[in-house]
Chain A
Amino acid sequence: MTDSAVHFDIDVVDGVLRLLPKGDWRARHLGPIDSRLRDFSDDSVGRELVIDMSGVTRLDTTGAMMLQRTLYACDSRTSDSEIISADPAQAALLAQVRDHLAPCHVAPFHPNPFLAVLDRLGQGAHDALNASMELMSFIGETLSTTVRVILRPSRIRWTSTFHHMEEAGLNAIPIIGLMSFLIGAVVAFMGAKILRLFNADIFTIELVGISVLREFGVLLSAILIAGRSGSAFTAQIGSMKIREEIDAMRVLGLDPMEVLVLPRVFALVLMLPPIAFIADLLGLVGGLLVAWGAMDISPALFMSRFEEIKMMNHFWAGLIKAPFFAFVIAVIGCFQGMEVEGSAESLGQRTTLSVVQALFLVIVIDAFFAMFFLEIDF
């Protein structure tokens, strides 16, 4: 071992334990010897100790802390233990560190794992209940603010509403249209392949028409908007919450419901139906092209068949769901944004939660509509 390398020797002089640290006692070199020094202090608890600093070339707070810690661990009651041969700078550092040896807590205290699991379970159930109550009250607040604003239309924030209509609605059309087109084409392909086995190719038209108009068009639009805009709403409002902008609004007499939430809700409720309409069209075009190309069903036949089977019913059954989906997505996005607190981590969690909850509720509502339409034979 060279002179500059960090190590320590142990010696006994007149029955007094002597620790001789050597070399460069700075944090970057101390990692490897820390456990040995700990073992040494565990073995010599209660003994008098002298630390001879003469061999130490460099010292920083970590080195000083380790030496003081050793001194303290060996002998915390008597004052006989001491540090000798330290140069003035080292002595000052050692003195500075001596008062700061108390350990600290690193993370919030956790009880034993079993209790922690129970605790999380209970907390989770409690939170879920609370969150659904809060969501209900948020929906109520949104509705009552809507009524209030509609009674005094001058309070509607048109600029903001149009901004979100463009951002969340118009800009989403290309991707939603493309997706819907592809889904229409895929459904037609799959349908054609299987229906041909029964010599019933012509029913491909029904398959494409009903599935796209009733479900795929509007559902795909809603899913994409939830992922694209619901999350964005949460992130926007959440970061405003973190920077206390929401509080600033409140004290300036601006109602965040009116300024932030309603424009977003209006924008989505107004934009999702036309988006779903475009998605319907492109889905049908996808199906039509596949039917034409792969099965020689001419567009004219495709269209005339449409009239025969009252496709308008299916069209309306799909489109009527759009505003409900839009409302749920926008409200959940804004609600989760308002629930953000403090850290970047909370913002991330809430954004994820907003998408997951919105998608879940969209599917649930869709299921309710399906049952309802089934009952009323629509």
Chain B
Amino acid sequence: MTVANDHTNEVIVVNGLKTQFGDFVVHFGLDLGVREGEILGVVGGSGTGKSVLMRAIIGLKPPGAGTVHVFGQNFYEANEAERLAVERRWGVLFQGGALFSSLTVAQNIMAPIREHLDVDEELAKDMAALKISMVGLAAEAGAKYPSELSGGMRKRAGLARALALDPELVFLDEPTAGLDPIGAAKFDELIVNLKESLGLTVFMVTHDLDTLHAACDRVAVLAEKKVIACGALGDVRKTDHPWIQEYFAGPRGRAALAAGVA
């Protein structure tokens, strides 16, 4: 299975990406396309560079070779204004939420709003309240500091901040890791819901088989420094690669499949 060469409706196009830390090569000749309006789940074993791929796409890890285009723009060659324009169109949820610890949740969400939009305090507050409610947090959570929140609430707050500017593209780094199964299922539901109502494109790094079944339209598998399979879950599962077979045919993979079918 190869990545389609037709890039017309692809929001993210990665071509021949090579990333490395010193002599250690993480990706080599990696190709990936993310289509508009889909939820793409990126899976792979620990250390295959899922998070590094995300960082390469969002401009935090300059590639050694190859190109990354987001919204048709090569981020690493763009000038300041073009970068800013792209940054305003995406939202990022980091693994631990990465909330600013000296600001309350509401202030965290208002930070990008104040920075990028010409809105007064009242509207910014309303926008923050809307986002807090949409990600399923209680109104009281707005006044809390990140250190007072549980892990799940922190992730929701991080998502609310990622959604603050109504992005078209959202990056999620292991959104359900560390959540209890009920919380994780609700988070999946939330993401699908938001995608439907806001028309989001979602790039999601995950370990969670249930999330793949519940939320993802397509799945990309990272192994051997590249994307070894990319497509609908059913097709990817049939790929004849030892890691993929072990991943999907293992006890957890079967359980998730059974749950997905049921």
Residues of A within 8 A of B (CB): 26-28, 30-32, 34-35, 38, 60-62, 65-66, 69, 89, 92-93, 96-97, 99-109, 341-345
Contacts and interface: CB of A to CB of B under 8 A. Distances in A.
B143 A344 contact: no
B145 A100 contact: no
Interface in B132-169: 132-134, 139-148, 163, 165-166
A106 B126 contact: no
Nearest to B119: A31
Given A105-B140, A344-B101, A92 B130 contact: no
B102 interface: yes
A99 B126 CA distance: 14
Given A35-B122, A61-B163, A107-B106, 9 more contacts: A27-B117, A31-B119, A31-B123, A61-B166, A100-B133, A100-B134, A103-B125, A104-B141, A345-B101
Contacts of B166: 26-27, 60-62
A324 B250 CA distance: 63
B115 interface: no
Contact of A30 (B104, B110, B123, B133): B123
A102 B139 CA distance: 7
Nearest to A343: B101
B145 to A, nearest CB: 6
Nearest to B138: A104
Interface of B: 88, 101-102, 104, 106-107, 110, 113, 116-120, 122-123, 125-134, 139-148, 163, 165-166, 193, 196-199
Contacts of B127: 27, 61-62, 65
B130 A96 contact: no
Given A106-B106, A106-B107, A106-B142, A34 B128 contact: no
A92 B140 CA distance: 27
A229 to B, nearest CB: 25
A34 B113 CA distance: 14
6 contacts: A31-B118, A61-B134, A66-B123, A66-B126, A100-B130, A105-B140
Contact of A102 (B88, B102, B104, B133): B133
A345 B193 CA distance: 35
Given A31-B117, A342-B145, A103 B129 contact: yes
Given A27-B166, A343-B145, A105 B117 contact: no
Nearest to B166: A60
Nearest to A96: B197
B4 to A, nearest CB: 26
A109 B144 CA distance: 10
Contacts of B199: 89
A344 B147 CA distance: 10
A343 B102 contact: yes
Closest CB pairs A-B (n = 6): A342-B147, A104-B142, A100-B133, A343-B101, A105-B143, A345-B102
Contact of B129 (A32, A96, A104): A104
B165 A105 contact: no
A66 B199 CA distance: 19
Nearest to A59: B166
Of the listed residues B140, B148, B197, the one surrounded by the most CB atoms of chain A closer than 10 A to its CB is: B197
Contact of B101 (A34, A62, A107, A342): A342
B119 A92 contact: no
Contacts of A103: 125-126, 129, 139
A26 B130 CA distance: 14
B120 A31 contact: yes
Nearest to B106: A106
A106 B113 CA distance: 14
A345 B130 CA distance: 27
B199 to A, nearest CB: 7
A107 B129 CA distance: 12
Nearest to A97: B130
A34 B123 contact: yes
Given A60-B166, A343-B147, A101 B130 contact: yes
B141 A30 contact: no
Nearest to A103: B129
A31 B140 CA distance: 26
A27 B119 contact: yes
A324 B125 CA distance: 53
